[in-house]
Amino acid sequence: MRRVGVIVLVLGIAGFLLASQKRAGYDSVEGALKSTFSSEERGNKDFWETARWVSLGAGVIGLVLVILPGKK
């Protein structure tokens, strides 16, 4: 389980960093205006926000699997 935990932890961290980078584009003035007036851009913003939280959850699950591995 420890190996699976490390893989899930790495994927969670990588996904969180990627989603945070994509989501940060909507924090600028231009991004805020686009997401205010365009439902498609608002959907993209919500998608990246959700992806951040899902990746964070995967990272926490991976960390738990690394710290508390199952019995062999």
pLDDT tens-digit map of 38-54: 888 888 889 999 999 99
Q: Is 35 inside any structural domain? A: yes
Task: Output the six-digit token pair for 30.
Answer: 């231009």
At 5, list the tokens. Answer: 């935990």
Residue 72 lies in a domain: no
Q: What is the pLDDT of residue 61?
A: 95
pLDDT tens readout for residues 18-42: 999 998 888 888 888 888 888 888 8
The domain containing residue 11 runs over which residues?
Answer: 2-67
Q: Is residue 46 part of a domain?
A: yes
Question: Is residue 38, in this structure, part of any structural domain at all?
Answer: yes
In a domain, 54, yes or no: yes
Q: What is the arithmetic mean of pLDDT over 55-71?
A: 90
The mean per-residue pLDDT over the stretch 7-16 comes to 96
pLDDT at 62 > cutoff 80: yes
* Total domains in the fold of the chain: 1
The residues, ordered by sequence, that sit 6+ positions from 12 with a Cβ below 8 Å of its Cβ are 55, 56, 57, 58, 59, 60, 61, 62
Decide if 29 is inside a domain: yes
**pTM of this structure:** 0.81
